[in-house]
Amino acid sequence: MKTRLFSLGILLSGILLFVTLTSQDQSEEAPPPDNYECLKCHGKNYYSFENEVTGMKVHKKMNPYFILNHQKYNQGVHNSFACIDCHLPEYETYPHAAELKLEPQYGCMDCHGDDPNYAKFHFDEISIEVEGSVHGNALGDDFKCEMCHNPHYYELGYSKDKRIEEIVATANNMCTECHNYSQDKFYLLSDSCAGNQDITHSWLPSKELHFKSVRCIECHSTISDSLIVSHNIVEKESAVKNCVECHSTDSRLMSTLYKHRAKESRSKFGFINGAMMNESFVVGATKNYYLNVISIVLFSFVFLIILFHAFLRIILKK
Ligand code: HEC
Ligand code: HEC
Ligand code: HEC
Ligand code: HEC
Ligand code: HEC
Ligand code: HEC
Ligand code: HEC
């Protein structure tokens, strides 16, 4: 008996040791890459270098488009990367060689296409949708994923801890970086006019509130069964203008913006479109089957207690 207990003890401590070792393995993070060599120039408004011709140290203004926000870089999904994992190591010397400008850059699909590790994101399907979207049709390969997703800062839009308003703001900033009047980025691609969003959407009441509560893609892309985020942005004539598409019990928001949340909580509560209720009140879209029933039951229960109470009093008095 004793030996049995002893070997059981050894077995248990073995398992314990294994568990602690493996869990330690997981919590051990790779040290952050040292990108100081690049960020000492690309992290600031000014940079300095030694002018080899005059032998003097010079200070210059950095092109604002070439400045990286270190903090945002560290929050992104690629924060374990050194700059020269994606950019050529020749960038370590300054002045940068002129031909570096001509070097093709890695796109998202170069690393993620066909990679089973990322199957759940459906990169290949997204890529096909982008090709067939208004942008793909008008601009072809020039309209890369990077037009919307900054590889330096890319962070998953959805997270349980993020409020819908935050998710919406991040997604909409991608579009308004181009689709607003004064946005130069638009003119990198097109000679037509980047419209004014206030005018184009003047038909929508409470436009400010709507733009805070829904993403542009809710109205501008088709619903996708397999993708969490549909990338098929359609021409303006096919955009959603009908209020009932959202303001109804089978609101399209449940298959778009609230798709993640919906998966988690649709069946948890008795609410129709309950996932929405935590974050906003969408007239017509959130209702509850059971609320009425529950209130009637509660009401009758209270009524019964009062009756019972009265009954006891009468009995006890006697
Ligand atoms: C001494 C300052 C300095 C350092 C260090 C530096 N850069 Fe630059 N970099 C610049 C400046 C200034 C530009 C603007 C174009 C130019 O002057 O060549 C630039 C441009 C670039 C560009 C844009 C090229 C283009 O025209 O599209 C990339 C990419 C780049 N740097 C990457 C890097 C990387 C990666 C590192 C680190 C390995 C690095 N740089 C280190 C100053 C620097
Ligand atoms: C995951 C790959 C990746 C990593 C890591 C990366 N870059 Fe880039 N970088 C790119 C791509 C792709 C572009 C071109 C973006 C575009 O076409 O809009 C780019 C563009 C740039 C530019 C030119 C600015 C612009 O918007 O065109 C600079 C400067 C730059 N990177 C610096 C850096 C520095 C500094 C680091 C490290 C802190 C770094 N990059 C890390 C992929 C990367
Ligand atoms: C040079 C290769 C490379 C490029 C280019 C690249 N990625 Fe990644 N990406 C990676 C690697 C490696 C990881 C895993 C990083 C980690 O786990 O630390 C990753 C992670 C991810 C993840 C998973 C995040 C998670 O939480 O599971 C997403 C989504 C992603 N990248 C999207 C993109 C997008 C969008 C682009 C283009 C803007 C892009 N990647 C460009 C290599 C790349
Ligand atoms: C017109 C802008 C635009 C373009 C172009 C674009 N995306 Fe997106 N993408 C978005 C928006 C908006 C979201 C939702 C917010 C988020 O998750 O970051 C998103 C989300 C994603 C997600 C997260 C999906 C999930 O499961 O949560 C991935 C992965 C992604 N895009 C990959 C790509 C790839 C790969 C390309 C190029 C083939 C691309 N995107 C091109 C706008 C764009
Ligand atoms: C890099 C800049 C850029 C980004 C980012 C961008 N777009 Fe575009 N978009 C364009 C350009 C350029 C056109 C084509 C204009 C033309 O026809 O010349 C266009 C066309 C469109 C059209 C068609 C307009 C029409 O006249 O039919 C819609 C709708 C649209 N974009 C919506 C979006 C949405 C929604 C997002 C965000 C998910 C987005 N765009 C992100 C640049 C951009
Ligand atoms: C409630 C639905 C809805 C939302 C949200 C919405 N749009 Fe639209 N948008 C439309 C409709 C409908 C049209 C077509 C209007 C028309 O033709 O009268 C349109 C037109 C457009 C056009 C083409 C007209 C032009 O200015 O060139 C662009 C681009 C556009 N929207 C971008 C955006 C962007 C960017 C956002 C997010 C900041 C957004 N939309 C949010 C429904 C919406
Ligand atoms: C893409 C989905 C969508 C479409 C299309 C849409 N709405 Fe909304 N609407 C919302 C959401 C989400 C809210 C909730 C905002 C909040 O309170 O967070 C809202 C709120 C409202 C409100 C309340 C505003 C307030 O000041 O409290 C009104 C009124 C409204 N919508 C009217 C309309 C009308 C009229 C149309 C059609 C012309 C329309 N909506 C189209 C999603 C939509």
How do residues 13-67 score in pLDDT, each as one tens digit?
545 444 444 444 444 456 667 899 999 999 999 999 999 999 999 999 999 999 9
Residue 60 exposed, middle or buried by CB count within 10 Å (0-12, 13-18, 19+): exposed
Residues 280, 282, 287, 291, CA torsion sign: positive
Tell me how far apart the alpha carbons of residues 148 and 178 are, in angstroms, rounded to a whole number.
9
Report which bound ligand comes closest to the CA of 164. 7
CA of 247 to the centre of ligand 7 (A): 7
Q: Which atom of ligand 4 is nearest to the CA of 108?
A: 35
157 Cβ below 6 A of ligand 3: no
Which residue minimizes the CA distance to atom 3 of ligand 3? 111
Tell me how far apart the alpha carbons of residues 232 and 129 are, in angstroms, rounded to a whole number.
5
Give the binding-site residues of ligand 5, using a 6 Å CB cut-off.
Answer: 134-135, 138, 147-148, 174-175, 177-179, 185-186, 189-190, 192, 216-217, 220, 233, 235-236
CB of 82 within 8 A of CB of 105?
A: no
CA of 102 to the centre of ligand 1 (A): 13
CB of 260 within 8 A of CB of 158?
A: yes
Tell me how far apart the alpha carbons of residues 232 and 128 are, in angstroms, rounded to a whole number.
9
User: Average pLDDT of 293-298?
Assistant: 70
The pLDDT of residue 18: 46
40 Cβ below 6 A of ligand 6: no
22 Cβ below 6 A of ligand 1: no
Report which bound ligand comes closest to the CA of 213. 7
C-alpha 199: how far from chain center: 27
pLDDT tens, residue by residue, 75-93: 999 999 999 999 999 999 9
Give the binding-site residues of ligand 4, using a 6 Å CB cut-off.
Answer: 108-109, 121, 123, 126-127, 130, 135, 145, 147-149, 156-158, 171, 174, 217, 228-229, 231, 233
> Regarding predicted confidence, which is higher, 103 or 231?
231
Report which bound ligand comes closest to the CA of 67. 2
Tell me how far apart the alpha carbons of residues 196 and 148 are, in angstroms, rounded to a whole number.
19
Report which bound ligand comes closest to the CA of 103. 1
Tell me how far apart the alpha carbons of residues 218 and 263 are, in angstroms, rounded to a whole number.
18
Q: Scan for tokens 């959202």, then name that residue.
A: 246
Residue 73 has pLDDT above 90, yes or no: yes
- On average, the pLDDT of the chain sits at 83
Which residue minimizes the CA distance to atom 27 of ligand 6? 195
CA of 221 to the centre of ligand 6 (A): 11
**Residue whose CB lies within 8 A of the most ligand 7 atoms, among 168, 204, 246, for a mutation test:** 246
CB contact set of 201 (below 8 Å; sequence gap of 6+): 207, 211
Q: Which atom of ligand 4 is nearest to the CA of 127?
A: 38
Which residue minimizes the CA distance to atom 13 of ligand 2? 105
> Regarding predicted confidence, which is higher, 314 or 183?
314
User: Average pLDDT of 272-283?
Assistant: 65
CB of 231 within 8 A of CB of 130?
A: yes
CB of 222 within 8 A of CB of 239?
A: no
> Regarding predicted confidence, which is higher, 43 or 307?
43
pLDDT band at 187 (very low <50, low <70, confident <90, very high): confident
Q: Which amino acid is at 29?
A: E
Report which bound ligand comes closest to the CA of 185. 5
